[in-house]
Amino acid sequence: MTVPNWSKIESFFYKLALVSGMIVLLFSILNGYGFLHIIFRTALAFILIYFLGQALLTLYQSISPAPKQAEQKSSQFLDVMVGDDLDISDTNEEDENKEPTQSGSLPGQVRIDLKKDLPEDDKTKAEMVRRMGWQENQE
C-alpha cells in the first residue's frame, strides 16, 4: 500500500532533521567543541533523524493493510443503524429499482414492525404525549 501524502511526510522528516541538526549545532558551539567536531555532530544528527524517518515510512508502507475496494456510504450505514432492512452493500441502482413502500407508512425512518403497536386514534396519541411530559404548559 502506498502511504497517503508521502511527500508531505517526507518533507516533515526533512524539516525535523534540519531542526534537530540546528539544535545540535547550537549546543555544540555553546559547549566549545572544535570546528570539525561541530560539523561531524551536526551532520550525524541530521542523517540519523532523516533516515530514521525514511525507515519508519518504509516500515509503515510494508505493514499497512491494503485499501478497501468498496467504500460504504455513511448515509447507508446510518439507515441500517436506525432500522432500515437494506444491506449496506446494496448499490443505489438496486435501491432505485425497489418497489415503493406502503402508502400508509410512517414518515421518517421508523421500522414498519413498530407501527402496529402505535395507537390509531388521536386522543390516545395525545395522552401518550402528555404522559411523556410534552405538555404545552410545562411549569
With respect to residue 17, please indicate whether it lies within any of the assigned structural domains.
yes
pLDDT beyond 70 at 12: yes
Query: Is the residue at 130 inside a domain?
Result: no
The residue that leads in pLDDT, 79 or 61, is 61
Does a structural domain hold residue 79? no
Quick check: 49 and 16 in contact, CB under 8 A? yes
Q: Residue 83 region, left (φ>0) first, then alpha (ψ -120 to 50), else beta? A: left
Q: Which cell is 110 given?
A: 421508523
Domain extent for 42: 6-63
Total structural domains in the chain? Answer: 1
**Residue 25, domain member (yes or no):** yes
In a domain, 77, yes or no: no
Choose among 55, 58, 53, 49: nearest CA to 23: 49
Q: Which residues of 52-81 are buried (b: 16+ CB within 10 A; e: fewer)?
A: ebeeeeeeeeeeeeeeeeeeeeeebeebee
Residue 3 is predicted with a pLDDT of 62
In this prediction, residue 114 carries a pLDDT of: 63
Residues 92-102 have a mean pLDDT of 52
User: What does pTM read for this prediction?
Assistant: 0.46
Sign of the alpha-carbon dihedral angle for 128, 132, 134, 139: positive
Nearest alpha carbon to residue 24 among 3, 8, 39 = 39
C-alpha cell at 88: 449496506
Q: What is the mean pLDDT of the chain?
A: 75
Residue 35 has pLDDT above 80, yes or no: yes
Q: Is residue 40 part of a domain?
A: yes
